[in-house]
A and B are shown apart, each in its own frame.
Chain A
């Protein structure tokens, strides 16, 4: 690249974000030209997500490759590019796209006339378009390397979800959407403040190591930088459902349609971690610096512990399984944040591995939950009381079995070895950084977590005599495929966990 060249644009590097956008436009055009062709919209959505993921996979599979740059400013100095996707970022992009694809599949069967979803009066094209939009935001935020792109991408990932929650047109979903909206707006405000402080501290809008090192070295800008990072962490903490930014999670999870809940639980979390890693990556260079960034590590650790303990303890009391999964999401967000407090590259990889493991297990769990309905209510996923799951693993092993595996993966108990490996990998950076108190508290969290998930597993393995009459188990094709693919992924990664972690190391 010559210094005099205009902004360089490498289209292929941008493909993971551009393909979903193209799919989004195509869906809207198709809806205008051929209204009501739901199968077509679904096909376009699936193809767009698969193609986008396929363009990101090669970089994710090459752990040693240098980051792909695009949208670079003339001048060619470090960090002058708006798009910077290394192997870790590409892996997270694949995660976002795959999770969105799973949600699309879960969503697909609700459009069939046979579906009795109370709110299924809206058009499928809108659903697909919103999902693709959210995926675009998630993909873009993983690779954004300047404050403006990052902020816009993060909002692009969030706002379509608000619409998806609200589209159900019931009183609860409006309530949930409103909670989500309010919290989302407030965090956006915090993020903007953080971004402003960042620009003030570093004197530029890029999120790179060099600028941070300069700002950190100067005693005058250092406090501003710390405040900027903390504000950005707080803003992203909302998306990640970290305590105390978690209050939207239980009401929204329980009131949104189940596939949208799955989106919030899986794809949104991957995107949120990707966004957080962009902010934290430059700080990894400060670990050896004097003074060390203790305040940031402390806040991250405190958020992690609070999320882990509050989420677990409240999940212990939940009777509604979706509510249980909501609190479990909060607890797992603590686990995602935990290795980040080491402020090292190994910690970042561990968090990425954890969030991907968690997302896969969550999607399996939600697919299984969507299969169970009340005989009298009939709506998919309506059998939400824990008692409706009594003996499910015995009567319907093809649904109950994957659910047990997913729950054990959450708990980190064999045979869900993948979850165990993820937890061990998450704890290792802490020990490397000498953060023993955090690790010990995390172990307490593990013990409590086992109680949470085994409570459900015990119900699943119980005597199905009474519960059989009250529930109706029906797997849609979409849910079936998510269940099959997700559990296959969990099983394969359980047998050879280094495959997943090999991608991240």
Chain B
């Protein structure tokens, strides 16, 4: 029942927060209080979680004829762990926003939207019914639109929000179709029955008589579902919305990137894992897309001129790693390596975003130029950022390192059983190198020594208003909350691997071979960054003059536009056909009906007593004539 408490608690906080949006103080207390309380509840549930269980909740299920919609929720150890990390990040984001958005006039709406967003994610995490999953999925899409466009007075924020909404929406076509197909095939929306109906291996004998579900159909529906997941998780070819989403406030980015939106796909696919493992085409689609994405996004991260966008591309790359674990794991391995990476990524990525939010406020922006050496002004910010980067790079025994090694080990095991494992493993190892390189680059930028008293040149160029705001935030007063959040997340990034001690995830022991190999790869990556960084920002050295190409994500926007143009042209043709040709028939029909009415009216105008009988006689003659001519 704790699952319903979490979902309804956050949803209630969101709705109530909207009602209280006139009183910022009350909204602040409600949002942070509810998130804190529910995070503690989630922690309790995580520690107490034993075996998987399914239960109904406040909304009763119903049957549509033979079609069952039970609307059940459920928990297991991994979902309890994911739910905890979601609640924790949400709580951290809420507390952090009280400082970060202190003078924002729309703060109460922001806090309420964050609560709703979290409720939707928790619904997806706990859902044991496709309808509930779909509801959570859609509410998340809507909330992300609101959060990215929070500063909607800025044109760029509006554009980013539209882009995020449209791109994920288009991918959602696949998700909805896949969900409908799965439910239709199972005769129920219950996850257990869907898996029972679709998760059996299809075995054919030599006469091509097969047992189990139709393999082609399964491939089609699961691939559709995977397409939806690729969109929400910003994987190639839908990757470009996520870096643009940096237009939102930094706490919103932390939430979207760390614990909710982009991770939701991993949760959904993990819930349907037995079925995914049987659908070879879907596995290949997912595997190829994620293999490509993790490497390309890591390379893009290396060359970004804005460190917040660097973090965004690193999210794309890391989410690809989670999903690749699901794509390559064999049916016997289970999805827990991907979920564990979700857990660790949520912790270190929220830490990184909140740290760069702090550093960005001090510097007055998040471009690498502005941030250069900014770590010298905030010791906490620098240390938090460093710990987050180490975890991101996958240094052993930090939370990120543990989970990444498990993913690599699982992909290696899965590669032996066929599927896209070999390709993914190759991409994964390369990505480890590049990740280490860009992590090193980020720290080199932050940590470069600069005299504290001398303002950076770029700061002097800032508008006066922004400078004033910066000065206000530099005041250590009131930053305590944000500092506390950073501290907690930094500690968790160091010791989050204790989740393995608690046996929250069903994983084999650590592989020493892979640990040694990753250490070597990280050393190579870091060494490369150091080598490039001898004379300045290694990222700048890396991309040279093509910085614009890197910042535009290899021109994905142009590609999107090229794709849209023919569609637009087709739409114009269809509209022309509709208004000029088809409407012509319709209007002609209307004119004909009107003329017929006029003629009929003329005919009946002489409604004398005579007309009726004459008509009757005429009718009788016609009727009888038909009878005489037509009888057989």
Contacts and interface: CB of A to CB of B under 8 A. Distances in A.
A179 B593 contact: no
Contacts of A245: 615-616, 619
Interface string B600-616: 11001001010111011
Nearest to B619: A244
A237 B616 CA distance: 10
Contacts of A175: 609
Interface stretch (A22-30, A123-131, A295-303): A295-303
B225 to A, nearest CB: 32
A233 B628 CA distance: 15
B597 A314 contact: yes
A148 interface: no
A291 interface: yes
A294 B630 contact: yes
Given A231-B620, A234-B620, A317-B594, A183 B613 contact: yes
A226 B627 contact: yes
A206 interface: no
A401 interface: no
How big is chain B's contact interface, by range? 20 to 34
Interface stretch (A246-254, A334-342, A344-352): A246-254
A223 B630 CA distance: 10
Nearest to A222: B631
A183 B619 CA distance: 12
A280 to B, nearest CB: 15
B619 A294 contact: no
B285 to A, nearest CB: 40
Main secondary structure of the interface of A (DSSP, over half): helix
A448 B593 contact: yes
A504 to B, nearest CB: 22
A448 B607 CA distance: 24
B622 interface: yes
A299 B627 contact: yes
Given A313-B593, A317-B597, A247 B615 contact: yes
B627 A178 contact: no
B598 interface: yes
B632 interface: yes
Contact of B632 (A179, A227, A231, A294): A294
A173 interface: no
Contacts of A248: 612
Given A175-B609, A295-B631, A244 B593 contact: no
A67 B597 CA distance: 45
A314 B626 contact: no
Interface in B583-597: 589-590, 593-594, 596-597
B617 interface: yes
A227 B609 contact: no
Contact of B630 (A244, A246, A295, A451): A295
Interface string A263-305: 0000000000000000000000000000100111011001100
Contacts of A226: 627, 630-631
B626 A302 contact: yes
Nearest to A292: B632
Given A186-B617, A316-B593, A317-B598, A227 B628 contact: yes
Of B600, B612, B615, B624, the most chain A CB neighbours within 10 A belong to B612
21 contacts: A182-B612, A186-B613, A186-B617, A187-B616, A190-B616, A190-B620, A230-B623, A230-B624, A238-B616, A243-B619, A244-B615, A244-B616, A245-B619, A247-B616, A250-B604, A294-B630, A299-B623, A313-B593, A313-B600, A314-B604, A451-B593
Interface of A: 175, 178-179, 182-183, 186-187, 190, 222-223, 226-227, 230-231, 233-234, 237-238, 243-248, 250-251, 291, 294-296, 298-299, 302-303, 310, 313-314, 316-317, 447-448, 451
Interface of B: 589-590, 593-594, 596-598, 600-601, 604, 607, 609, 611-613, 615-620, 622-624, 626-628, 630-632
